[in-house]
Structure 1
Amino acid sequence: MGSLTLTKMLRHSRLALVGGAILALQGCGVIYKTTGDVLISFGRSEMLPYMLTFDDVRMACVTGEAQTPLLMAFERVGSHPEKLGAMVFTTAATCAEQIAIDAELRYMRAVKDGNVNEAQDARIEQKRWSAVAAQRQYTAYQNMLTAFGEQKEGECPKLKTDFDELVWMVGNISGVQALLNDGASDGAVGVPRDLAAKVERNMKCLENDKWWGVPRGARAAVWNLLPMLAPPNAEPWKELEASAKAGFDGGVRLGSALYAMSAFSKGDDERMRKAIRDFAANDQNLDPEYAMMDAIAGFIVTGISDREWTENTGKRTPIGGLGTFWDDAAKSGPAINIDDLL
Structure 2
Amino acid sequence: MGTYRNIAAVAALSLSFFLSGCSQHMMRDVAASGMVGFSNDYAAPWFLASEDTDVMCGMGEGLSAMTYPMGPNADALVPMLSLASGMCADERSKEEELRYIRAIRRNDIETAQDARTLQKRWLALAAKRQYFGYQAGVRAWGEPGKTCPALSDRNDQMSYLMGLLLGLQAFQSDFSLGGTLVPSDTVSKVMSGMSCLGSDDFWGVPAAALSMTEIILANAGDDQVALDVGYAKLARASAVGERDGVRMVQALQASLFAMQGKEERVKQVIRDHVTSKKETPASVEFKLMDKMATRTIKLVSDKLWTQATGQRTPYGKLGTFWDDKPTLENALDIDDLL
TM-score w.r.t. the length of structure 2 is: 0.88
Residue aligning to 1:3: none
Find 1:102's aligned residue among 88, 95, 100: 95
Larger radius of gyration: 1
Q: Cα gap change, 1:13/1:163 in structure 2, threshold over 3 Å: closer, same or farther?
A: closer
Question: Is 1:261 matched up with 2:252?
Answer: no
Find 1:212's aligned residue among 203, 214, 219: 203
Q: How much has 1:253 moved relative to structure 2? A: 0.3
Look up the SS of the partner of 1:316 in the other structure: coil
Look up the SS of the partner of 1:328 in the other structure: coil
List aligned pairs for 1:310-325, cutoff 5 A. Answer: 310-325=306-321
Question: 2: CA distance between counterparts of 1:199 and 1:113?
Answer: 42
Look up the SS of the partner of 2:285 in the other structure: helix
Q: Cα gap change, 1:172/1:312 in structure 2, threshold over 3 Å: closer, same or farther?
A: same
Q: Cα gap change, 1:311/1:334 in structure 2, threshold over 3 Å: closer, same or farther?
A: farther
Q: How much has 1:104 moved relative to structure 2? A: 0.4
Residue aligning to 1:39: 35
Q: Which amino acid aligns with 1:173?
A: L
Q: How much has 1:160 moved relative to structure 2? A: 1.7
Q: State which drifts further: 13-22 or 25-34.
A: 13-22
Residue aligning to 2:112: 119
CA contact (8 A) 1:243 1:256 kept: no
Question: 1: CA distance between counterparts of 2:45 and 2:142?
Answer: 24
Find 1:131's aligned residue among 114, 121, 124: 124
CA contact (8 A) 2:250 2:269 kept: yes
Question: Is 1:328 matched up with 2:324?
Answer: yes
Q: For each residue in 1:280-328, what CA deviation from the matched residue of structure 2 results, as whole angstroms up to 9, or x when unmatched? A: 1111321011011111111211111111000111000111111111100
Q: Which amino acid aligns with 2:234?
A: L
Q: Which amino acid aligns with 1:158?
A: A
Q: Cα gap change, 1:156/1:112 in structure 2, threshold over 3 Å: closer, same or farther?
A: same
Q: Which amino acid aligns with 1:53?
A: A
Q: Cα gap change, 1:207/1:311 in structure 2, threshold over 3 Å: closer, same or farther?
A: same
Find 1:251's aligned residue among 242, 245, 248: 245
Question: 1: CA distance between counterparts of 2:208 and 2:151?
Answer: 20
Residue aligning to 2:84: 91
Question: 1: CA distance between counterparts of 2:84 and 2:256?
Answer: 21
Q: For each residue in 1:198-230, what CA deviation from the matched residue of structure 2 results, as whole angstroms up to 9, or x when unmatched? A: 222211111111111111111112223344799
CA contact (8 A) 2:215 2:226 kept: no
Residue aligning to 1:272: 266
Residue aligning to 2:184: 193
Q: State which drifts further: 169-178 or 319-328.
A: 169-178
Q: Which runs of 5+ in 1 are unaligned?
A: 1-10
Q: For each residue in 1:48-87, what CA deviation from the matched residue of structure 2 results, as whole angstroms up to 9, or x when unmatched? A: 1110011211111111111112112111xxx511111011
Q: Give the fraction of aligned pairs with identical amino acids, expressed as a percent.
A: 31
Find 2:52's aligned residue among 56, 59, 77: 56
Q: How much has 1:34 moved relative to structure 2? A: 2.6
Q: How much has 1:33 moved relative to structure 2? A: 3.2
Question: 1: CA distance between counterparts of 2:150 and 2:33?
Answer: 21
Question: 2: CA distance between counterparts of 1:179 and 1:167?
Answer: 19
Q: For each residue in 1:124-175, what CA deviation from the matched residue of structure 2 results, as whole angstroms up to 9, or x when unmatched? A: 000000111111111111111111111446x311122111111122211121
Q: Which amino acid aligns with 1:121?
A: D
CA contact (8 A) 1:260 1:301 kept: yes
Find 1:181's aligned residue among 151, 167, 173: 173
Question: 1: CA distance between counterparts of 2:270 and 2:81?
Answer: 27
Q: State which drifts further: 177-186 or 303-312.
A: 177-186
Q: Which runs of 5+ in 2 are unaligned?
A: none
Q: Cα gap change, 1:192/1:125 in structure 2, threshold over 3 Å: closer, same or farther?
A: same
CA contact (8 A) 1:220 1:237 kept: yes
Question: 1: CA distance between counterparts of 2:296 and 2:64?
Answer: 22
Residue aligning to 1:25: 19
Residue aligning to 1:8: none
CA contact (8 A) 1:140 1:171 kept: yes
Q: Which amino acid aligns with 2:184?
A: R
Q: How much has 1:265 moved relative to structure 2? A: 1.1
Q: Which amino acid aligns with 1:110?
A: A
CA contact (8 A) 2:103 2:109 kept: yes
Question: 1: CA distance between counterparts of 2:217 and 2:12?
Answer: 61
Q: Which amino acid aligns with 1:35?
A: A
Q: Which amino acid aligns with 1:135?
A: K
TM-score w.r.t. the length of structure 1 is: 0.87
